[in-house]
Structure 1
Amino acid sequence: MLLPYGILEMCGRQFWIEPTRYYDISQFTNRLLPSISKTILFNKVLLLNENNKGSQIKIGHPFLDGLFFQAKLVDNGLGSKVQIFKMKSKKKFRRRFGYRTKYARLHFDSILSIKSFKNFYLLTE
């Protein structure tokens, strides 16, 4: 049995989004985001499956008009550390550095189909 889901475009990537789930999205911290526990609306919906049996699927060309995914920004954080080591043999060249990727944790609440909203932060990339 399939749950209601949608395919959403964020940060140049496509995500399979199901309501009431958490997603860690990288590359969000470079953009301006609202503070934690604010509601964000995403309008780049590529596909939407409304019922459990998969018989009502809407496909956008390229996006569906009037549909929004509602998410709440839960946390901003750092991912696990990535170590990079460069070495050239016989040249005595060794270089070691690392970095931690930044991410934003989003909790997707629901799929909305209303065009006018108040007190929401609309994210249009």
Structure 2
Amino acid sequence: MYAVIKTGGKQYKVSAGGKLKVESLPVEVGGAVEIKDVLMVADGDNVKIGAPFVAGASVKATVVSHGRGDKVMIFKMRRRKHYRKTQGHRQNYTELRIEGISA
């Protein structure tokens, strides 16, 4: 059984027992999260697709950790104008462990 959820403006395919890194959530480590924005639930041949969300479906998860992703370098340059700018960015994330999917 798996589901497609939406969180942080992105879509993720999740199944029970899996781990997932999503955009930072304001929940403490060890806290429970219930995601109700479920776009699709599939259990073998039984597939439910929402319009836009599946009614009554939710995904329960536990927060494992918070962290910061790898550094992404941003480099801007204008040729022949003697302009160069370098900047780095590290995005915050929350790691979730999927406990169960209810359809």
Alignment TM-score, normalising by the size of structure 1: 0.74
Alpha-carbon distance in structure 1 between the residues aligned to 2:36 and 2:27: 16
Mapped partners of 2:78, 2:42: distance in 1:
52
Structure 2: state its 5+ residue gaps. none
Q: Summarize the alignment of residues 70-109 of structure 1 with structure 2, pairs less than 5 Å apart.
A: 70-109=60-99
1:12 and 1:98 mapped to 2: Cα distance? 22
Higher share in strand: 2
The one of 19, 24, 40 aligned to 2:21: 24
Runs of 4+ displaced beyond 6 Å: none
1:14 counterpart (11, 23, 26): 11
Aligned residues: percent identity? 28
Tell me, yes or no, if structure 1 residue 40 matches structure 2 residue 37. Answer: no
**TM-score using structure 2 length:** 0.88
Q: Which runs of 5+ in 1 are unaligned?
A: 114-125
Aligned-residue CA RMSD in angstroms?
Answer: 1.6
